[in-house]
Homo-oligomer: A and B are copies of this chain.
Amino acid sequence: MLTNLTIALDMMGGDYGPRSSIPAAVNAVNANAHLTLILCGNQQVITQELEALGSLSHPRLVIRHCSEVVTNACEPAVAVRNKKDSSMRVALDLVKSGEAQACVSAGNTGALFFMAHYVLKMLPGVKRPALISAVPTETKHPVYLLDLGANVHCDAETLYQFGIMGSVVAGQALGCDNPKVSLLNIGSEDIKGHEGIKQASQLMQQCDYINYIGYSEGSDIFSGKADVIVCEGFVGNVALKTCEGIAKLIMHKLIKALNKHFLYKCLAFLLRPVIKKLYKRVNPDQYNGASLVGLRGIVVKSHGNASAKAFHAAIDEAAREVERQLPEKIAAIFEQTHPLTK
């Protein structure tokens, strides 16, 4: 474990803002004695919330006042241009300047992506950053899905690069040398999909660094067939949010079915903890946080309606990525394996 770790937090983002980010920050520093958090946001609000939790004078919670907030409705380009003293921007600036080794935000995904891109810049050779997250599977290991919405459309080269970055992330997280990489498509046969997918498939096949196993369909995501699944942002975002929706639907229908008969009602009472735990496990977006990869710095995006627990998990994820030196590892691989960008 690192003996000195500083992470900047955008306290004002997400549906709950400081109501979830403050307890998350307090729990995170209490759980990790080497962690310092810089709390970016409205000083008055943060002070009040910290006071309420009896943590105002915590030596490893440093407040950095910011006068602005990036709302969910804010256009990314407007956020970059006009919101220079927003909690999101200041957190990113702290990573850029080296004062923090990573940052976490639950705010507007598009704005965070644009701002992070603008402030931190791409790693050499990387065309576009991607949003990546671990998704549960039927096996013991999760699968890493990218891009989850940072890039609406992606060309073949970009998808191919996502394969490399996904491979580094999964390799580090799963502790394996040769993670299996797959492209998300609408059929497993070679003839399926559009030209961009087919070209990306060829690029991955030709790349020694990627252990490419061919196409996956939506139904394969959770089978554990692949360690990394690559798709464009629009598709990945819809897939992940569809998971959220269907998990909710199944739980809803299950509880409804159980409530129909007295016997099942009793069982439902006993089963509630099992169902609750399961719901959390299959609802990855809520409980992991997603990371922006490809940038010269570590940025973790927590879910817009992240609870304190989920925001805490995102802080932990940022800490792990600092330890794994993810940007440095991705840069090293791109230097070796990416002859297409000079």
Question: Footprint of B on A, CB under 8 Å?
Answer: 72-73, 75-76, 109-110, 136-138, 149, 152-153, 184, 186-187, 189, 191-194, 217-223, 231, 233-235, 237-250, 252-254, 257-258, 263-264, 267, 270-271, 274-275, 277-278, 281-282
Distance from A139 Cβ to chain B, minimum over Cβ atoms (Å): 10
B278→A267 contact, CB < 8 A: no
Chain B residues lying within 8 Å of A138, measured Cβ to Cβ, are 248-249, 252-253
Distance from A175 Cβ to chain B, minimum over Cβ atoms (Å): 23
Question: How many copies altogether?
Answer: 2
Give the contacting residue for A218; candidates B152, B219, B244, B281; CB below 8 A.
B244
In the docked arrangement, what's the CA distance between A271 and B245, Å? 23
Give the contacting residue for A240; candidates B136, B218, B241, B243; CB below 8 A.
B218
Q: Residue on B with the closest CB to A233? A: B186
DSSP class of A's interface residues: helix, strand, loop or mixed?
helix
A242→B267 contact, CB < 8 A: no
Give the contacting residue for A239; candidates B153, B239, B248, B252; CB below 8 A.
B239
B222→A186 contact, CB < 8 A: no
Given contacts A194-B234, A267-B271, contact A244 B257 (CB under 8 A): no
B253→A281 contact, CB < 8 A: yes
Distance from A230 Cβ to chain B, minimum over Cβ atoms (Å): 13
Chain B residues lying within 8 Å of A191, measured Cβ to Cβ, are 73, 75-76, 110
In the docked arrangement, what's the CA distance between A76 and B281, Å? 40
Distance from A14 Cβ to chain B, minimum over Cβ atoms (Å): 14
Give the contacting residue for A245; candidates B221, B270, B277; CB below 8 A.
B221
| Contacts A243-B246, A264-B270 known; 20 new A-B pairs at CB < 8 A | A72-B189, A73-B191, A110-B192, A138-B248, A149-B186, A194-B234, A218-B243, A218-B244, A220-B245, A221-B245, A222-B245, A222-B248, A222-B249, A235-B235, A246-B246, A246-B247, A253-B278, A257-B274, A258-B274, A267-B270
Chain B residues lying within 8 Å of A252, measured Cβ to Cβ, are 138
A245→B223 contact, CB < 8 A: yes
Given contacts A250-B282, A257-B278, A270-B267, contact A238 B231 (CB under 8 A): yes
Give the contacting residue for A153; candidates B192, B194, B257, B258; CB below 8 A.
B194
Chain B residues lying within 8 Å of A263, measured Cβ to Cβ, are 270
In the docked arrangement, what's the CA distance between A244 and B193, Å? 19
Chain B residues lying within 8 Å of A267, measured Cβ to Cβ, are 267, 270-271
